[in-house]
């Protein structure tokens, strides 16, 4: 089992990713750190607590993190994830109050664990990680690897023409994390848009155990605001899948920087560019196998 901290803004697809991580038996989840993103900080933090309550995991703490991006105003995603961030899916109330100060908690936790043994799975804007590398660079260097859902390479964006939500939410945070020297792997829209759940996929999960049933409800809710679609992309679960089954992905090292301007493409990844840094990027995926593995882990 690999020790991980999940940094997240649940979020429907975050929620499916967290359920997978808790159910699949491949991770030792040390904590869920939260960040404002899909919806405000209080909501995403409560949602993280509700998912743990559902899974009866009162041993896993939720630690509230950044309430907004480093310098900009956040983007509102209620249209996709619903006013509660979970598309109206009912979950039990959190078992405990969340802790405060995700950055401080991460720093303490990383200092206490053997160097290189804790990975960070980042499913939201990178604000918390940016604070960590800014305030505690030596402790941040103790992280094993960081796997991030964000950005778009050849694929079009979902915020601006080329910008993706997590990175567009806090471009300066992306810049800081890119330059931090951390062992970083990015899973962009190019890959995550290929991992698509249909209604039939959700229906198939619905007959199973608690994590899979909740995932089925969350995926079904994902269709609510977009009833015409045949399938919905499971962005964040791809991070978990990369951690457990790297053989399903094609990874390339690319030189990347981030658009720090003020136009529609703020936060977009730029390939090359003067101050680009080498980063591992998932550029391909065996999508059918990935979906099968996700379902298996959720069950
Ligand atoms: C990312 O943005 C959020 O809406 C999803 O949870 C995912 O992390 C996709 O662009
Ligand atoms: Ca997310």
Residue 10 CA, closest ligand 1 atom number = 6
**Residue 73, pLDDT score:** 87
The torsion region of residue 104 among left (phi > 0), alpha (psi -120 to 50) and beta comes to: alpha
Cα–ligand 2 centroid distance for 237 (angstroms): 9
Q: Annotated catalytic, 235?
A: yes
Give ipTM to 2 decimals.
Answer: 0.99
| Residues 183-211: tens digit of each pLDDT | 999 999 999 999 999 999 999 999 889 99
Quick: pLDDT tens for 213-241.
999 999 999 898 776 889 999 999 999 99
Q: For residue 221, which of 78, 29, 39, 49 has the smallest C-alpha distance?
A: 78
pLDDT at site 95:
94
Which residue's CA lies nearest to atom 4 of ligand 1?
Answer: 38
Question: Which atom of ligand 1 is the closest one to the Cα of 11?
Answer: 6
Which is more confidently placed, 79 or 81? 81
Confidence label for 67 from pLDDT (cuts 50, 70 and 90): very high
The secondary element (H helix, E strand) that includes residue 121 is: strand 118-122
Mutate-to-test residue for ligand 1 from 165, 167, 187, 239, highest number of ligand atoms within 8 A of CB: 165
Q: Is the pLDDT of residue 120 over 90?
A: yes
Q: What is the distance in A from the centroid of ligand 1 to the CA of 176?
A: 20
Name residues whose C-beta falls within 8 Å of residue 56's C-beta, 6 or more positions apart in sequence. none
* DSSP annotation of 24: S
What tens digit of pLDDT does each residue of 10-39 get?
A: 999 999 999 999 999 999 999 999 999 989
Closest by alpha carbon to 39, among 79, 76, 1? 76
Residues having CB closer than 6 A to ligand 1 are: 11, 13-14, 38, 77, 123-124, 149, 158, 164-166, 235-236
Q: In Å, what is the CA distance from 20 to each residue of 62, 81, 167, 191?
A: 17, 19, 23, 18
The answer, yes or no, to whether residue 151 has pLDDT greater than 80, is yes
């Amino acid at each position: 089992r690999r020790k991980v901290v999940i940094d997240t803004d649940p979020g429907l697809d975050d929620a499916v990713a967290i359920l997978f991580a808790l159910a699949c038996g491949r991770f030792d989840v040390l904590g869920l750190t939260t960040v404002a993103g899909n919806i405000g900080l209080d909501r995403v933090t409560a949602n993280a607590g509700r998912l743990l309550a559902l899974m009866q995991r009162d041993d896993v703490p939720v630690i509230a993190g950044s309430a907004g991006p480093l310098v900009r105003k956040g983007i509102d995603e209620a249209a996709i994830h619903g006013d509660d961030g979970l598309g109206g899916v009912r979950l039990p109330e959190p078992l405990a109050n969340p802790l405060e100060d995700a950055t401080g908690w991460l720093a303490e936790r990383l200092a206490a664990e053997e160097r290189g043994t804790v990975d960070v799975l980042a499913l939201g804007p990178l604000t918390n990680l940016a604070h960590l590398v800014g305030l505690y660079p030596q402790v941040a260097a103790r992280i094993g690897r960081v796997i991030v859902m964000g950005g778009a390479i050849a694929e079009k964006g979902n915020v601006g023409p080329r910008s993706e939500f997590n990175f567009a939410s806090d471009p300066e945070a992306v810049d800081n994390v890119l330059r931090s020297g951390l062992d970083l792997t990015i899973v962009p829209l190019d890959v995550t848009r290929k991992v698509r759940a249909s209604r039939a996929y959700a229906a198939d999960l619905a007959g199973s155990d608690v994590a899979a049933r909740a995932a089925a409800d969350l995926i079904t809710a994902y269709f609510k605001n977009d009833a015409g679609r045949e399938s919905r992309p499971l962005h964040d679960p791809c991070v978990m899948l990369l951690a457990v089954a790297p053989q399903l992905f094609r990874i390339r090292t690319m030189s990347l920087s981030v658009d720090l301007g003020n136009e529609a493409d703020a936060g977009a990844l730029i390939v090359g560019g003067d101050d680009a840094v080498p980063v591992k990027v998932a550029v391909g995926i065996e999508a059918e196998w990935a979906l099968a593995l996700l379902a298996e882990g959720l069950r």
